[in-house]
């Protein structure tokens, strides 16, 4: 039941935490029985108890601080000597009044007042405030939400995720989407069941520094340090894994059942959740409703509804009319009216959707599941044809005349795409030292570039097989216009050249070579893992080969604890750059048609030149896209009661001017700095002696 604010690679295992907290409680000063004078004092102040012998107190206990309280069961009381601050500059003396306490251990300087029913079966740590609540109780043995199965992605079942305190997006991804490896699922489920058993208790916890104010019913809920719960309606069977570095806030009108909330999360404004996992830094507010869903780091749900979704990191929806249902999402921005269907009214709600990372849905967009949307795709309009565009990332999927039309690669030149990639790291709200999700924010990676390579091949094949006169091509139930296809190939090629050049520049940066053999030695990857297919484990990029090794180790029992699984994911994240270069080096060998040992300085010059061209072309398209935000059309509605000059002045005052825009300046600087970087490498290669 400990705070989750331990270091990511702490030697303390998750299953030891409750034992450590119990030991900490046992180390508190020994309690003693009440004296007859203390019992008399308590009784004179309106307190009562069927058996005062079961009430123990710490040395220094002041009975004057306990009034109008009934005790039953085994009760231990701490010392009440401090004053407690409240909103508005009010302070009140710590102590207990107007409450019924059953079978509880209460720490030092706790403030408890106006408990309308009772508090039962809780350990209440130091400096806790409980003011004006209806009920706080545990009944029987409770796992506090651990082990609850969230029926995600397929509403009819089959992808259930048993949630637990330390669930990561990556563990959840394996459990949900690797059902074809039943032994992996069985072993992971057993690990989670073992953890659940280790935290199951008949005693609840309200940890140090927590505030429960103006709440109604709280049943079978474990509350971590520094949590603030204000005005919640009903919380039942859950864990609130707050910590002092990153407290959890549960606000007014919340209904939560069978749930886990992680550090830094915020659930408020009448939100309703059932069978949900709320990840670190995630905020659900403004009457949001969610059931059978998991939300990982930095998600945001406002006004709308979620049903059976796997919301990977940075899944965000802000609008009242938006429904996300039966799908996998990550780094998603869902526009107003976004909707999907998972039910054909035949065999039930059995269909599912996959929306790969970085996608956006425009207002009133609709998709009929099953469908699969490629990474960083913008979806506009209504789509009924069960498309799969996963090998055509960075595209626009647009409805036109009841047809799904795809414009491949066009999102690579959108300034919005670059803005998204840069804003996500800045919007990481997680403050806990122990971060559950390993997140890779890279826009271009082996994961997305392999899709561009596949996209180039399939677009070229469409041209070859369909003939010269074909103006529209059909692929996986989407239409692609010839001009869009040709442009898509060019954009993908620029993206590939940019990524490979980035990898090469990074690899050779600040390194001097006396001869080509030294160059080749640096180009050699330090690992054999990396080439081949890559996967996105809900925020974590990794080579499929490495993931398969993890799965095999789980199957064999070589990895048999949740801590070991977490450590394996951490290793994948830490070794990303080594894996990335191994992948890039393999692609370079294919493009040069020669192995690393045969690559020359001329080859490096050739690739660097292509990289410079790609950088400049893509940056110029981004600049042109940004300019659209400063055109006369963008100024419509400005200078409301004036002339054209007033309109320009008003626009400049509110939005600024193109030349001074920070993003535009950044693009210009990027072109200059990358050009200089490329020229410097070319100069080094030109000076390199050849064998």
Beta partners for 99?
69
Residue 382 is predicted with a pLDDT of 96
Distance, first Cα to last Cα, the chain: 65
Residue 689 is predicted with a pLDDT of 53
CB 353 within 8 A of CB 161: no
Cβ neighbour number for residue 313 with a 10 Å cutoff: 30
**Tokens linked to 92:** 């009140």
- CA dist 635 and 223 (Å) reads 51
Residue 6 is predicted with a pLDDT of 36
At 340-374, the pLDDT tens digits run 998 877 777 889 999 999 999 999 999 999 999 99
Q: Cα 427 from chain centroid?
A: 11
- CA dist 78 and 258 (Å) reads 32
What one-character DSSP code corresponds to residue 665?
H
**Tokens linked to 51:** 């058996």
CB 260 within 8 A of CB 243: no
- CA-nearest of 155, 277, 94, 129 to 208 is 129
- CA-nearest of 312, 307, 303 to 290 is 307
- CA dist 15 and 622 (Å) reads 50
Q: In the chain, which residues have pLDDT < 70? A: 1-29, 689-691
* pTM, to two decimals: 0.92
CB-based contacts of 572: which residues, under 8 Å, 6+ apart?
Answer: 438, 540, 542, 546, 547, 550, 579
At 501-513, the pLDDT tens digits run 999 999 999 888 8
- CA dist 248 and 97 (Å) reads 27
Residue 28 is predicted with a pLDDT of 58
The DSSP line for 24-72 is: HHHTSPPEEEPPHHHHHHHHHTT-EES-GGGEEEETT--GGGEEEEEEE
């Amino acid at each position: 039941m400990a705070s989750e604010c331990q270091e990511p690679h702490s030697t303390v295992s998750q299953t030891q935490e409750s034992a450590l907290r119990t030991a900490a409680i046992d180390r508190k000063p020994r309690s003693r029985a009440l004296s007859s004078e203390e019992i008399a004092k308590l009784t004179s102040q309106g307190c009562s108890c069927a058996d005062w012998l079961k009430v123990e107190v710490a040395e220094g206990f002041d009975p004057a601080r306990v009034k109008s309280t009934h005790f039953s069961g085994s009760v231990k009381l701490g010392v009440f000597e401090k004053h407690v601050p409240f909103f508005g500059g009010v302070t009140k003396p710590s102590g207990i009044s107007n409450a019924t306490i059953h079978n509880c251990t209460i720490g030092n300087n706790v403030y408890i007042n106006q408990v309308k029913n009772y508090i039962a079966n809780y350990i209440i740590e130091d400096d806790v405030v409980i003011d004006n609540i209806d009920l706080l109780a545990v009944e029987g043995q409770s796992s506090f939400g651990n082990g609850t199965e969230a029926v995600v992605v397929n509403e009819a079942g089959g992808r259930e995720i048993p949630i637990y305190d330390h669930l990561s997006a990556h563990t959840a991804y394996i459990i949900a989407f690797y059902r074809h490896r039943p032994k992996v699922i069985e072993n992971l489920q057993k690990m989670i069941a073992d953890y659940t058993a280790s935290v199951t208790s008949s005693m609840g916890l309200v940890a140090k520094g927590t505030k429960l104010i103006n709440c109604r019913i709280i049943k079978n809920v474990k509350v971590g340090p520094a949590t603030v719960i204000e005005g919640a309606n009903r919380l039942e069977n859950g864990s609130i894994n707050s910590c002092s570095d990153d407290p959890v806030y549960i606000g007014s009108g919340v209904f939560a059942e069978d749930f886990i909330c992680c550090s830094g999360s915020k659930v408020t404004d009448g939100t309703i959740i059932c069978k949900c996992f709320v990840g670190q830094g995630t905020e659900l507010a403004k009457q949001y409703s969610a059931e059978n869903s998991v939300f990982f780091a930095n998600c945001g749900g406002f006004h709308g509804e979620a049903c059976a979704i796997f919301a990977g990191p940075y899944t965000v929806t802000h609008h009242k009319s938006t429904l996300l249902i039966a799908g996998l999402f990550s780094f998603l921005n869902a526009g107003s009216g976004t909707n999907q269907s998972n039910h054909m009214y035949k065999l039930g709600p059995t269909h599912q959707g996959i929306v790969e990372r970085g996608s956006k849905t425009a207002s009133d967009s609709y998709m009929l599941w099953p469908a699969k949307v490629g990474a960083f795709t913008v979806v506009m309009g209504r789509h009924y044809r069960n498309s799969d565009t996963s090998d055509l990332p960075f595209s626009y999927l647009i409805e036109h005349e009841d047809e799904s039309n795809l414009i491949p690669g066009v999102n690579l030149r959108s300034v919005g795409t670059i803005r998204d990639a840069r804003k996500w790291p800045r919007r990481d709200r997680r403050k806990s030292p122990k971060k559950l999700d390993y997140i890779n924010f890279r826009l271009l990676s082996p994961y997305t570039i392999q899709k561009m390579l596949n996209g180039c091949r399939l677009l070229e094949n469409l041209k070859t097989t369909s003939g010269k006169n074909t103006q529209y091509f059909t692929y996986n139930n989407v239409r692609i216009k010839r001009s869009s296809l040709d442009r898509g190939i060019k954009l993908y090629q620029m993206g590939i050249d940019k990524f490979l050049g980035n990898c090469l520049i990074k690899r050779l940066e600040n390194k001097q070579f006396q001869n080509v053999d030294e160059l080749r030695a640096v180009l050699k990857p330090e690992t054999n893992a990396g080439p081949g297919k890559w996967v996105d484990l809900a925020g974590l990029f990794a080579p499929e080969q490495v993931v398969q090794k993890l799965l095999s180790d789980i199957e064999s029992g070589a990895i048999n604890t949740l801590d070991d699984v977490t450590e394996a994911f951490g290793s994948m994240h830490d070794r990303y750059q080594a894996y990335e270069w191994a992948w890039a080096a393999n692609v370079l060998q294919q493009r040069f048609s020669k192995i690393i040992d045969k690559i020359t300085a001329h080859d490096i010059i050739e690739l660097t030149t292509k990289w410079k061209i790609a950088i400049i072309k893509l940056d110029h398209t981004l600049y042109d896209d940004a300019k659209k935000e400063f055109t006369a059309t963008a100024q419509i509605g400005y200078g409301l009661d004036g002339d054209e000059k007033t309109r320009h002045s008003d626009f400049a005052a509110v939005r600024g001017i193109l030349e001074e825009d920070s993003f535009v300046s950044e693009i210009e600087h990027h072109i200059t700095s990358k050009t200089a970087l490329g020229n410097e490498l070319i100069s080094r290669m030109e000076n390199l002696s050849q064998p």
